[in-house]
Structure 1
Amino acid sequence: MRGRLCEAGPRGRRGAPLGYPAILRGAERRRRHGAASATLVRNKTPQERDTMRLTIERMAYGPDGLAHTEDGKAVFVAGGVVGDVVEARVDSEDASLVRATVESVVEASPHRVEAPCPFVGVCGGCPWGALDRKTQLAAKEDNLRSALMRIGKFTADEVAALVRPIRSTRDAWGYRNKVELAPSVERGRVRLGMHGRDPKQIISVGSCPLFEKKYSRAIKAVAGALGYLGNSRDLSLDRVGVRASRRTGAVEVALWTPTGPFPRAHVARVLEDALAPTGIVRVMTKGEQRARRVSKVELLAGEGSWSEKIADGRMRVSAPSFFQVNTAAAEILIDLVMDALKPEPEDLAIDLYCGAGTFTMPLARRCDFVAAVEAYGPAVRDLRHNIDAANLSNVDIIGGDAVKEFPDQDADVLVVDPPRAGLAAEAVGLIASTSARDVAYVSCDPATLARDLARFRADGTFRVVSATPVDLFPQTFHCETVVHLTRNN
């Protein structure tokens, strides 16, 4: 999410931004000097690290390109794209792999493009921004196939039959409805920016080419206003979320802070002057930094939630709740789920890990009854609001863990959209215990998806019909997948 057009940030020796342009500047120079083709070049001084001449073979499931040394060891190369020949600095090495960073591109790949962000490779949000879209899509398909074979133990022929062509939207940039800013203090001044590839690094930004284009000035306005305020008082900001919808015009600023005193009126007034958002909220949290929980959401100005139109409906989502950052691509997910399940008017449906209702509401419009299970309190409250606002009376909302609170009712169709960790081992058996004829599994991680599909195969109740990758996150390696499973006869 954090690809940026930045006002300030890391600079090379001659003052130019590091990243794509700086990397390529070395290519022509090295061609003129006839750089050698040695795999490993030892530097002359012990203070300098080794460098390698490498050819990037493919994109890994991660931000890096993948290459190999002459002896076959895998090298994950930050800043490399498939087809590049690069000089890469070795960052770390162990018995199984090497991690390296591109210092210069000796021969640029035909798949390399110049992104609208000069901090590709420096900022953490668009690590594949220098790779053309067609190659990104092919790499995501390949990563899904690889996971199904390596982890799921499906054969190459099975994978070829199961994996459908990747689905994508038109917008490769400007698709995100949400970004997050992180605070830092530099020379005594508070500033907000995006996390860099190194999460400890905060990069100041004026706009982000991944963020909704209609509201491109929102990031600069929010960062400037809160930076100004933070220099005269302690805001204790953990992070700041900005959500915007081109479909509804809703713009929300969410300030995440610990509990305690806060200049509510002053913050609201300055943000309203800077941006005029439709809502400003403060999300108060308690607990240790790594395990903080939401204590309260406080309305500072305007509306207390953000609204979006999706799949012929409208949803309101509070700041702590999850919502897909790519609305148009989320509609592809919904279409694929409905195509897999083909819900009928008399059907009973179960929606596990339902969130604020992305799949619950379309199912409720098509089925007789839906049991929706969600553990996260803010999402449960949002779901209740969305169901009531849509006048849907055929949904039983169950708050709790999907395994512990698995619905007592039976089901004709079932959808499951778990977090990145995938399904608990017990969930496969519980799903199999229903009489559901079809299951739609929506996954955000190919590895845990492949593991879970292997569990379904071992159980024997369901077989995999298809797996369709969906490009929800252009310019990154992340990819969603919708899998259709049907009951064995």
Structure 2
Amino acid sequence: MGVTGGKALRLRVERMAYGADAIARTDDGETVFVSGGVPGDLVDARVTQDAGTFLRARVESVLEPSPDRVRPACPLAGACGGCPWASLSRPLQLSSKRASVVDSLVRIGRFDPDEAEGLVAPCEAPSAPWGYRNKIELAFARNGRRSIIGMHGTDGTSVVKVPKCPLLSGKNQALVKSVSGALTYLANSDRLSFERIGLRVSERTGDVEVALWTRPEAFPRARAAKIVGDAVKATSVVRVMTKGASKARKIAGLEVLSGKGHWKEWIGGETMRVSAPSFFQVNTTGAERLQELVLEGLSPTPDDEAMDLYCGAGTFTLPLARRCGYVSAVESYGPAVRDLRRNLERAGIGNADPIGGDAGLEFPDTDADVIVVDPPRAGLAADVVQKLSAQPARAIAYVSCDPATLARDLARFRAEGAFRPLSVTPVDLFPQTFHVETVCLLSRKDK
């Protein structure tokens, strides 16, 4: 087991995995995860790892290109890790994402294959395939006395300098070069380090925010604000300070270096204010489609009481409150709770209760008619599934960013016996990547 001597293989690529790689099989039937392959390709590849039960290999040459192989819109797609599926046609990306959802339901959720096929709708594509993102994050590295700011490389460790990012809208793509250049100068001249740099843009409101993520240590605030301000017409430049181990870092503070100190986006008829640490979907057009699917599925009425768990800054809370009698909204992340309260106040909404805390510990003491859950990648805790199953609600809309944890949680709902899935709709919020968002509608069995 481990890295091998680099055996050469000739492979016909079969399908995409839920990840950056494609899947092929050797003549002996051994599974190979192929980096750089597109389903339908005939390739010469070289083994990079023998993991015992499978191999990993990298394409060295494409002998017969697949009809679904396309030229990436970004020339750095093979080096930068932001677009691992950029060589796949859009129809193949969509069908592969749907297939990954079906596969997860079967393998992890133990659904019958025919049942899973019937539940999962075709993958929707609400946004353009490029220029759809409102946010990117730049990585920082230091090579001796020289700083490097760019995108994470495909190897997961290197940092690749990029002049622009085609995932951002056309007029904002060049901001990457401007921000990288300004902060590289700042880091080199002042011997600074960054954990990462966040760049948020909105074509709808015109807002541009640059967020500098650092440790809570001495920092040239005024100088940083001036250098970034000279390079970019930002409406907000902030510093987010974190502490703790890399996998469990917590926000230690937020400093406004210049501008408003927050970013605004217009979505679904509402203007939402979002602080740099808070989560917001990177695809605004796609997020609006999620809202539509949730509201269409739940059909909320003015007499309904709603529950919104893992609600963030209010993407679903606000439209629910416009349609329901009352909404209990639970969010554990402090910055997002503060953003939610501001967004409700700004919108003049008084029939929603923002609750800060863990969804299991702060589960609302109420009987909901309709429920939305939008958990992080880890999905729902087992006790939350139990508490949701005890609710008298007629329907639950489960918004998921990970097919594996969705499948696991649907199996838990089935074991509880109160709710059954009616439909699972994949939505392509992340073109050029393997990631897929889903909206699953569950109904009470007695309804």
Question: One fold, TM greater than 0.5?
Answer: yes
**Is residue 115 from structure 1 mapped to residue 80 from structure 2 by the alignment?**
no
Structure 1 residue 288, shift from structure 2 partner? 2.1
Partner residue in 1 for 2:319:
362
Partner residue in 2 for 1:165:
122
Correspondence for 2:270 among 313, 323, 327: 313
**Is residue 262 from structure 1 mapped to residue 213 from structure 2 by the alignment?**
no
Partner residue in 1 for 2:84:
127
**Is residue 155 from structure 1 mapped to residue 112 from structure 2 by the alignment?**
yes
Partner residue in 2 for 1:271:
228
**Is residue 92 from structure 1 mapped to residue 31 from structure 2 by the alignment?**
no
Partner residue in 2 for 1:393:
350
Structure 1: distance between partners of 2:226 and 2:309: 41
Q: Give CA deviations for 1:16-41 in whole Å, capped at 9, x if unaligned.
A: xxxxxxxxxxxxxxxxxxxxxxxxxx
Q: SS state of the match for residue 138, structure 2?
A: strand
Structure 2 stretches lacking a partner, 5+ long: none
**Is residue 475 from structure 1 mapped to residue 432 from structure 2 by the alignment?**
yes
Partner residue in 2 for 1:458:
415
Partner residue in 2 for 1:285:
242
Q: SS state of the match for residue 345, structure 1?
A: coil
Partner residue in 2 for 1:23:
none
Structure 2: distance between partners of 1:64 and 1:95: 18
Give the direction of change, closer, same or farther, for the CA distance of 1:350–1:51 in structure 2 (3 Å limit).
same
Partner residue in 2 for 1:69:
26
Structure 2: distance between partners of 1:187 and 1:292: 26
Letter in 1 for 2:336: A
Q: How does 1:386-465 map to 2 (within 5 A)?
A: 386-465=343-422
**Is residue 232 from structure 1 mapped to residue 173 from structure 2 by the alignment?**
no
Structure 1 residue 57, shift from structure 2 partner? 0.2
Do 2:16 and 2:39's aligned partners in 1 also have CA atoms closer than 8 Å?
yes
**Is residue 220 from structure 1 mapped to residue 177 from structure 2 by the alignment?**
yes
Partner residue in 1 for 2:98:
141
Structure 2: distance between partners of 1:332 and 1:358: 11
Q: SS state of the match for residue 246, structure 1?
A: coil
Structure 2: distance between partners of 1:95 and 1:260: 46
Do 2:4 and 2:49's aligned partners in 1 also have CA atoms closer than 8 Å?
no
Structure 1 residue 71, shift from structure 2 partner? 1.7
Structure 1 residue 217, shift from structure 2 partner? 1.5
Do 1:78 and 1:121's aligned partners in 2 also have CA atoms closer than 8 Å?
no
Structure 2: distance between partners of 1:138 and 1:377: 38
Q: How does 1:282-361 map to 2 (within 5 A)?
A: 282-361=239-318
Structure 1: distance between partners of 2:17 and 2:78: 15
Q: SS state of the match for residue 82, structure 2?
A: coil
Structure 2: distance between partners of 1:69 and 1:196: 28
Structure 1 residue 187, shift from structure 2 partner? 5.5
Structure 1 residue 47, shift from structure 2 partner? 9.8
Counting aligned pairs with the same residue, the percent is 57
Q: SS state of the match for residue 190, structure 2?
A: coil
Structure 2: distance between partners of 1:263 and 1:180: 22
Letter in 2 for 1:247: R
Structure 2: distance between partners of 1:367 and 1:252: 33
Do 2:45 and 2:59's aligned partners in 1 also have CA atoms closer than 8 Å?
yes
Structure 2: distance between partners of 1:278 and 1:425: 42
Partner residue in 2 for 1:208:
165
**Is residue 57 from structure 1 mapped to residue 14 from structure 2 by the alignment?**
yes
Give the direction of change, closer, same or farther, for the CA distance of 1:303–1:264 in structure 2 (3 Å limit).
same
**Is residue 190 from structure 1 mapped to residue 147 from structure 2 by the alignment?**
yes
Do 2:100 and 2:403's aligned partners in 1 also have CA atoms closer than 8 Å?
yes
Partner residue in 2 for 1:375:
332
Count of equivalent residues: 444
Partner residue in 2 for 1:30:
none
Q: Name the TM-score, length of structure 2 as normaliser.
A: 0.98
Letter in 2 for 1:424: A
* Stretch moving more, 479-488 or 111-120: 111-120
Structure 1: distance between partners of 2:387 and 2:78: 43
Q: How does 1:169-184 map to 2 (within 5 A)?
A: 169-184=126-141
Q: Name the TM-score, length of structure 1 as normaliser.
A: 0.89
Letter in 2 for 1:173: W
Structure 1 residue 81, shift from structure 2 partner? 0.7
Q: How does 1:9-24 map to 2 (within 5 A)?
A: none
Structure 1 stretches lacking a partner, 5+ long: 1-45
Which aligned runs of 4 or more in structure 1 are off by greater than 6 angstroms? none
Q: Give CA deviations for 1:441-477 in whole Å, capped at 9, x if unaligned.
A: 0011111101111111111101110000000000000
Structure 2: distance between partners of 1:476 and 1:303: 32
Structure 1: distance between partners of 2:128 and 2:317: 26
Give the direction of change, closer, same or farther, for the CA distance of 1:94–1:47 in structure 2 (3 Å limit).
closer
Q: Give CA deviations for 1:164-196 in whole Å, capped at 9, x if unaligned.
A: 121112410010100111112235321200001
The structure having more radius of gyration, on CA atoms, is 1
Letter in 2 for 1:105: V
Structure 2: distance between partners of 1:385 and 1:471: 29
Structure 2: distance between partners of 1:148 and 1:185: 43
Structure 1: distance between partners of 2:287 and 2:132: 11
Correspondence for 2:62 among 105, 108, 118: 105
Q: SS state of the match for residue 124, structure 1?
A: coil
Q: Give CA deviations for 1:284-333 in whole Å, capped at 9, x if unaligned.
A: 11112232110111000001100000001010100000000000000110
Structure 1 residue 49, shift from structure 2 partner? 1.6
